[in-house]
Amino acid sequence: MTETVEQIAQRCGVVAETGHTMAEFTTIGVGGPVAAVLRPSSIVTMGRLLAELRKAGHHPRVIGGGANVIPGTGPFTDPLILTKGIKHGPLFEGSRVRAGCGVVVKLLVRKCVDRGLSGLEFAEGIPGTVGGTVYMNAGSYGGQMSDVVREVSWFDQEGTLQSREIAPEEFSYRRSPFSPGMVIVEAVFELTPGDPAQLEVKLDEVSARRLKSQPPGKRSAGCVFKNPPGDSAGRLIDVSGLKGLAVGGASVSMEHGNFIVNRGDATSADVRRLIDLVKQKVKEKAGVMLEEEVILWD
């Protein structure tokens, strides 16, 4: 008889929580019921969970800050593993900094600036955690994770821990060399010494720019669409007259067209219908088919 998620979790020293919805673990706040939620607090525990669950025929899903995920209405029968408990670091080794996958990116940026290390300022305000941002090669304001990531540790499909140096050219726009099923647990960043006072100024500039152009205090999944080559998804949505377009409780942000915000009562269906509608109208009016940057979970 196949072991249950609860039995495996207990054997690994983790509580299998029930009664949750995916909406609790995504920044946009949508998503249906999930059967079990697991919160490992170390790389070792994460590895055991992944290996044992997969061996027993379960298909765990892994989520960090939930900033780039739009789950469906569910119910989700696969166990959900949260990586936020794996938050060792940041640990400084000269100009390199090592951080667990659960470290909040905003905290990492802050610690690096305090230390007088430059290179991550572009990530100020990016929601989410180290694991997810490296996996997606997240970026903004001319920078991206591949500019500074130099080493990654991850669990492969069999639950074996892998670690190696990684080069910028292995990444591409909003893509990393890691495929679904690989779980990043740690990253090492190569930064550049800088003057803390000047870094503070740069950080303030990025923060002010972000606050001016993005919807403050509203639940969203970050940028919904990838920028087409040589253009901006936000610009295309804007010139297509789609700011403010709404489906149910979801609407295109008035501050930034590439954001869909939850006005308080949005459902997964609302958000997904709005995504499809925006794609359709941009194609009709601007002749460009947008591609999702967010991950849609069913």
Q: Is 174 a catalytic residue?
A: yes
Is 293 labeled as catalytic in the residue annotation? yes
Domains of the chain (ranges plus CATH)? 5-82 (3.30.43.10), 91-197 (3.30.465.10), 215-297 (3.90.78.10)
Catalytic site includes residue 164:
no
CB-neighbour burial class of residue 188 (10 A; exposed 0-12, middle 13-18, buried 19+): buried
- The kind and range of the H/E element at 152 are strand 149-155
Q: Among 174, 209, 235, 273, which one carries the catalytic annotation?
A: 174
Tens place of pLDDT per residue across the chain (298 aa): 489 999 999 999 999 999 999 999 999 999 999 999 999 999 999 999 999 999 999 999 999 999 999 999 999 999 999 999 999 999 999 999 999 999 999 999 999 999 999 999 999 878 889 999 999 999 988 899 999 999 999 999 888 999 999 999 999 999 999 988 899 999 999 999 999 899 999 988 888 888 777 777 789 999 999 999 999 999 999 999 999 999 999 999 999 999 999 999 999 999 999 999 999 999 999 999 999 999 999 9
- From the list 12, 101, 112, 223, the catalytic residue is 223
Are the C-beta atoms of 144 and 135 separated by less than 8 Å?
A: no
Which of 209, 43, 237, 185 shows the shortest CA–CA distance to 126? 209
